[in-house]
């Protein structure tokens, strides 16, 4: 294996699915928010992505069984939208920029096959006094403004590192639309509370009016 | 040479050979156990693997002759099983994850050509008070449980780094079965005693009932 | 994306265009000088270059919109010359030498298609007491000597690191002619003054007699 | 350029040329010895090798002209032998092992086209009390023993790092014969004296009986 490859479990029929990314990363906020979405929409895994860019170890579970690092693609259909939800337990090394670019383009190619043209990426930024605020960046100024409310702020003049930033940037270059949600964290440990806050903002954006139901569920 | 390549010395006829991996690594436990198996089964080298991922030096022997780092494949046939035994004196750099994935898949491709569908990988884990216990991980819960006895424990909730973990994980993804044996070590120096303990556990698993004979031999 | 690629915005008709490089780097002197040239010649972007060698982040602007790192090619036509001006906001990692070589050759291939056979690269060198002097290196001794005056010195017996050096070296190997202008800097922060000095030297070389007009403009 | 490539200046007719390697490295001993051989045999450059694995800078000479790092192949014919002498001013990064393997195989392919089947590589080892002794390693025990005398020792049980080791090891795997000469150095600075000692040993080996003439010349 010297290139990423997909293990397809089944082949869902989708209409303009929104691609939602929540990978392992700072405070695992993206992963936590994606997990909430997977549970609340009863999403099912339909594909796995393996890559030589992932760490060279296997992860062993409680029962002694093992598997290599991977990304997983979940599919969900609600009354409002179809979703492809991407989550995973590792990212390539920070130094290996080609790995990041290659993986992101493979992911966008894959989602494009199912008709995706809109992406939401989820990550984190470190601030000294986080108070559950969520920062928004987007492929256009209009989109960045559209979802502003008392819980959200526009993220301005910075960098968004890793898949959370690069997926959005490369999607934009392909003509997709999309937004990025960044939970504020001190940068220490996994942040379940921040992950939930970002999930709630996400829900208001992609499933407006269903927030209450989702909170009861999780 | 920008890809791994095999130097084939002869072409053995094999039936469902078990692939046994014992490479250089922590405490050299895998290499020591593989050496014991090679000696006790009178295995013969039938192929060598060279790769640009290995260190860029040659190793010089007592007589002043040199050779580049390599992996060696030995073949052995006992009354119970056919074996392909992989051993070697180097591993790719920890940072070069693509090298690890590529090498492991090349090795599995090679063994699959001879009909291998079962793998045993051998390595080590660091513990503060090792007492010759051997940890087991496997491709399925059933296999992990099958070989438990007073000398072995299930390895739970950790990572297995390098070829020892990745070969097992990638083999599983191909539908192979397999187990991983991890000798417990403090992490200082080569561990002949631990290597022998792991070899004895290995023998009980792959050649049950022949343990006594093997101990006399080594 | 595992190779660099060009996004062509329009396809200008050019005659022997001079390729001018001013990328992000030490003191951003090359980028500042290139920016002055773009403004003074009213150059237009006609192509963008994206590469997996660039950093794996997106840059977010004041309005919350984002884009991945990129190089931009501007085209300008003056009464004296046609120009392709290359500028950009990132460079590959210092360690990834293959990325540097590959990008530089891609850039030279691209400019060669438009008929370029002359290059000016712009960068910086660190000196302890910079006094707005500009150092010159070239593909031939004759060229290095040709542009010496009270503001310029020949750069001797050193190295020119990154795209500024490598583009000139690889262009020379292709049979191009070219010079390199290096502004002197202490190495701390962006150097607007030094960038302007280098721009003035550049203007004397490529647009002799138009210096006054350019100074008024900028 | 994402692969090494050769710039051929002319195409010499050679019979079983001995390939001599003396690249930049520890104490520059290989390069110094190769320089002596080039001068004493009045060798001429006939090919250059450029590679994206070399450092991403250009080297600027006294007159302000620049060129990228390169390897050079010289050709020489004496009454005794034909020679291809390889020298150069850089090596790939220590970490980039694939670069080392790829370059070495390209070099051996190139020399093999001219009929080379024998190689002499020249380098250095660090010892605490060097006294102009030269260590020898070889592709066979017979060759290592053959050139022992009061100035030389067999190099035993160690590693030979970089092109000096790897060229010999990869040549051996191709069925070539060859030896490696290692000058002893403290590891500080360029070692002209040690380089000359190694050159004298080299001369005794490849041009026996001509030592006096060469010493007068250099």
pLDDT digits (tens, 9 = 90+) for D150-195: 889 999 878 999 999 999 999 999 999 999 999 999 877 778 889 9
Nearest by CB to residue C64, choosing from A156, A161, A165, is A156
Beta-carbon count within 10 A of C150 CB:
6
Cβ-contact A185, A124 below 8 angstroms: yes
Query: How far is C73 from C110, CA to CA, in rounded Å?
Result: 10
Percent of chain D predicted with pLDDT > 90: 74
What three-state secondary structure class fits A157?
A: coil
Residue-wise pLDDT tens digits, B58-84: 999 999 999 999 999 999 999 999 999
Beta bridge partners of A152: A134
B2/D166 CB distance under 8 A: no
B141 contacts A56? CB cut-off 8 A: no
**Per-residue pLDDT, C128:** 82
Distance CA(D33)–CA(D153), nearest Å, equals: 18
Tell me if D60 sits within 8 A of C160, measured CB to CB: yes
- A-interface mutation test, from B107, B165, B171, most A Cβ less than 10 A away: B165
- Would you state the pLDDT for residue B218? 42
Residues D11, C92: Cα–Cα separation, whole Å: 37
Share of chain B above pLDDT 70, in %: 95
The answer to whether C98 contacts chain D (CB < 8 Å) is yes
pLDDT of residue A47 exceeding 60: yes
Torsion of CA C196, C201, C202, C208, to 10 degrees: 130
Separation of alpha carbons C88 and C91, rounded Å: 8
Whether C66 contacts chain A with CB within 8 A: yes
**Rg of chain D on CA atoms, in Å:** 16
Q: Is C142 helix (H, G, I), strand (E, B) or coil?
A: helix
What pLDDT, in 10s, does the model give residues D21-77?
A: 999 988 899 999 999 999 999 999 999 999 999 999 999 999 999 999 999 999 999
Residue B203 C-beta-side C-alpha neighbours within 13 Å: 24
The two structure tokens encoding residue D148 = 């022992």
| Alpha helices, H only, chain C | 29-40, 97-113, 141-146, 163-173, 192-206, 211-217
What pTM was computed for the model?
Answer: 0.85
Which of the 8 DSSP states describes residue D209?
A: T
Question: How far apart, in whole angstroms, are the C-alpha atoms of residue A27 and residue A44?
Answer: 25
Rounded to an integer, the average pLDDT of A104-119 is 97
The residue-averaged pLDDT of B131-145 equals 92
Q: How far is CA D72 from CA A151, B197, D5, D218, in A?
A: 65, 54, 12, 21
**Closest residue, chain A, to C69 (C-alpha):** A169
**Residue B185, min C-alpha distance to chain A (Å):** 19
Tokens 């884009």 correspond to: C67
Contacts of D5 in chain B (CB under 8 A): none
Tell me what pLDDT residue D211 has. 56
Backbone angles phi, psi at B170, to 5 degrees: -75, -35
DSSP D6-38: EEES-----SSPEEEEEES-GGGHHHHHHHHHH
* Residue from the list D2, D64, D92 with its beta carbon closest to the beta carbon of C102: D2
Q: Nearest Cα to A136, choosing from A176, A182, A198, A202?
A: A182
Q: DSSP 3-state assignment of B202?
A: helix
Structure tokens at C15: 């005659």
> Going along chain B, which residue ranges are E strands?
5-8, 18-23, 44-50, 57-60, 66-67, 71-77, 82-88, 118-126, 134-138, 152-154, 159-161, 177-185
Nearest chain A alpha carbon to B137: A64
The answer to whether D70 touches D77, Cβ cutoff 8 Å, is: no
Q: Are D83 and D38 in contact (CB under 8 A)?
A: no
Query: Which subunits sit against D, judged by 3+ Cβ pairs under 8 A?
Result: B, C
The chain-wide mean pLDDT, for chain B, equals: 91
Residue A70 has pLDDT above 70, yes or no: yes
Chains D, C in contact, 3 or more Cβ pairs below 8 Å: yes
Min Cα–Cα distance to chain B from A17, Å? 28
Given a cut of 50, whether residue B182 has pLDDT beyond it is: yes
Q: Please indicate if any CB of chain B lies within 8 Å of the CB of D180.
A: yes
User: How many whole angstroms separate alpha carbon D207 and alpha carbon D218?
Assistant: 15
Asked if A134 reaches chain C (Cβ–Cβ under 8 Å), the answer is no
A181-213 pLDDT, tens digit per residue, is: 999 988 777 688 899 999 999 999 999 877 544
Kindly report, residue by residue over B78-127, the tens digit of the pLDDT.
Answer: 999 999 999 998 889 888 899 999 999 999 999 999 999 999 999 999 88
**Among all residues of chain C, which has the CA nearest to that of A92?**
C56
What are the mean pLDDT values of chain C's consecutive 10-residue runs (218 residues total)? 90 97 91 96 97 93 93 96 95 89 96 98 89 92 89 89 94 95 84 91 88 46
pLDDT at position A208, please? 87
Q: What Cα–Cα distance (Å) separates residue D127 from each residue in A29, B56, B59, D168, D183?
A: 54, 21, 18, 22, 10
Residue of chain C minimizing CA distance to D7: C173
Report the residue of chain B nearest A95, measured CA to CA. Answer: B95
pLDDT at D213 (0 to 100):
44
Is pLDDT at D218 greater than 60 in this prediction? no
3-state secondary structure A2-46: CCCEEEECCCCCCCCCEEEEEECCHHHHHHHHHHHHHHHCCCEEE
Q: Is A168 in Cβ contact with C66 (below 8 Å)?
A: yes
Burial class (CB in 10 A: 0-12, 13-18, 19+), D104: buried
| DSSP 8-state code for residue B51 | -
pLDDT band per the 50, 70, 90 thresholds, residue B211: low
Q: Is C81 exposed, middle or buried (0-12, 13-18, 19+ CB in 10 A)?
A: middle
Question: Which one, of B108, B106, B112, B118, lies nearest residue B176 by Cα?
Answer: B118
Greater model confidence, B157 or D83 = D83
The reply to whether ipTM tops 0.90 is no
3-state secondary structure of B26: helix
Q: Please measure the distance between the N-terminal and C-terminal CA atoms of chain B and give it in whole angstroms.
A: 38
Instruction: Kindly provide the b/e burial profile for residues B75-97, where b requires at least 16 CB atoms within 10 angstroms of the residue's own CB.
Output: bbbeeebbbbbbbbbbbbeeebb
Contact yes or no for D141 and B65 at CB 8 A: yes
What are the beta bridge partners of residue B217? none
Owner of token pair 């990008």: C103
D141 shares contact with chain B (CB less than 8 Å): yes
- Rounded to whole angstroms, the Cα distance separating D100 from B57 reads 9
3-state secondary structure B67-121: ECCCEEEEEEECCCCEEEEEEECCCCCCCCHHHHHHHHHHHHHHHHHCCCCEEEE
Put simply, the answer to whether C1 touches A140 (Cβ < 8 Å) is no
């Amino acid at each position: 294996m010297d290139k990423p490859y997909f293990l397809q479990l089944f082949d869902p029929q989708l209409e303009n699915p929104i691609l939602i990314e929540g990978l392992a990363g700072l405070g695992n906020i993206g992963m936590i928010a994606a997990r909430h979405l997977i549970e609340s929409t009863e999403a099912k895994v339909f594909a796995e992505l393996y890559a030589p860019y992932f760490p060279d170890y296997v992860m062993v579970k409680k029962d002694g069984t093992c598997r290599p690092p991977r990304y997983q693609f979940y599919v969900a259909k609600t009354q409002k939208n179809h979703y492809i939800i991407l989550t995973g337990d590792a990212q390539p090394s920070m130094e290996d920029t080609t790995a990041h670019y290659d993986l992101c383009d493979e992911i966008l190619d894959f989602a494009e096959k199912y008709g995706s043209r809109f992406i939401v990426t989820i990550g984190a930024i470190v601030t000294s006094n986080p108070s559950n605020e969520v920062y928004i960046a987007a492929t256009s100024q209009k989109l960045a403004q559209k979802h502003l409310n008392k819980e959200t702020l526009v993220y301005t003049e910075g960098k968004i590192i890793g898949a959370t930033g690069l997926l959005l940037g490369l999607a934009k270059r392909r003509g997709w639309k999309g937004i990025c949600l960044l939970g504020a964290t001190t940068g220490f440990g996994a942040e379940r509370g921040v992950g939930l806050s970002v999930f709630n903002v996400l829900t208001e954006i992609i499933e407006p009016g269903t927030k209450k139901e989702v909170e009861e569920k999780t």
